[in-house]
Structure 1
Amino acid sequence: MWLMRLLTTVRYCLLDRIRVTHIRVMDAEINLQQFLDEQICQLAILAIQMVWTQGATMALNDPRENSKTMADASQKFAGLLEMLISRTTANLSPRERTKYETLITIHLHQKDVFDDIVQQGIHSQDDFDWLKQTRVYFMEENTMCVVSITNVNFEYQYEFLGCTERLVITPLTDRCYITLAQALNMCYGGAPAGPAGTGKTETVKVRFHSLASNTMQVVTPTLLLGKGRLTN
């Protein structure tokens, strides 16, 4: 029982910190670099995802369909990436360096995605090229963090993840994320197939890490099942 109470307390604590993070990053006067320095890796990741989601949504919702609004948002995201990269030149602890390298990996993909949206002339948040991206929102009315992919909304699970590295996101992993999201929405599962050592297991684990969901890899004896199992 004490372990369950501990896990519940950790989740409530993380939810409260996410709520505060959302309030802080929505403040136009925030010193984002200082804020990221102060946060644990998990909250810092959510912070830049919220900043990107909010900034991109506002640009896409501009009723004037003004290309300058989109260009300004793209420039803002480029500036954020430069700031993250500049932090890696400082004398950081191993944990802080891992944090900023992870932030760079995630935000570089976010920046590239938005640049593609600008180049395609998209001006609607209902366009599939926008909806298929991983978007992070905080619902103040329900006090919950939501991760959206296409038309699927997942509630953040508030599992404490520590400071972990993330895979570089490619078009192939993006398609894998979309497929898994749709399968889970229909109460199905997923079984990525391909040659050994290509990142199938890590891709699934990273997908659930983005939802802060507890994920366990169970490696079974080859003679019994012939393969491992990844469970959520």
Structure 2
Amino acid sequence: MNKWPGFKKVVKTTRLLPLMMSMIREVTVDNTPPAMSVEVTTDKSSYLPGEEVTVLVLLRDFAPNDQGYSYFNFIVQYDSQVFDNAEYTQHSVYTDASYTPGDEVSNIFQFNFQNPVDGSIYLGMNTTMRGIDIQVEAASKLSCIPAVDQTLVTFKLRVREQTLASSSTIGLANEFTRIRTSEAGNSYYLYSPDVTEITPAPVEITRSPSVSVFSSLESTNRLA
């Protein structure tokens, strides 16, 4: 990709934890344009308790003449009081049948798409939010994840059976984002300021309409 002027977050190739990198704070202003946009969305806008939810992570709005990337790491957060994924995971790791890499990164000979991992994302805080860690890496320096509009991954959640009518958001925990450019022999990491998060729409949880027993008896009496 182009070497953007004023780029402040240059870090030589390394594999630091996203949580550690989220603690880095930039003192000076970086006016470089975002590398891309990320949107987390679902297959429907509303669900009943117990329904399965398909979550999609979409990438778009890449910079012009972007040469692609060798590594993506995104974390999708959700409220564990509303959604559950126990049936789709083993030891907190998504099973092969419960997630699908997008077409651009599905070739196992070109890309190493790690099974998404579920875990806590705010250590030391009393919260029900959890994060699904998504990582994909090019298998060699000759391969790159193309900078084109794409679905990076789809995976499953389920609305908990006892969830009351409410709304909840499944979105990107962008403070943990890190991506790596694919410039031959000279790769750089980019972090959350270089990625625009598209604000997700709230997911509505609705209840099935119920019929009052007294209303049913009243209707029966009228017919009699």
RCO comparison, higher one (Cα < 8 Å, 6+): 2
TM tier relative to shorter chain: under 0.3
Which of the pair is proportionally richer in strand? 2
Give the number of the structure whose residues are more often helix, by fraction: 1
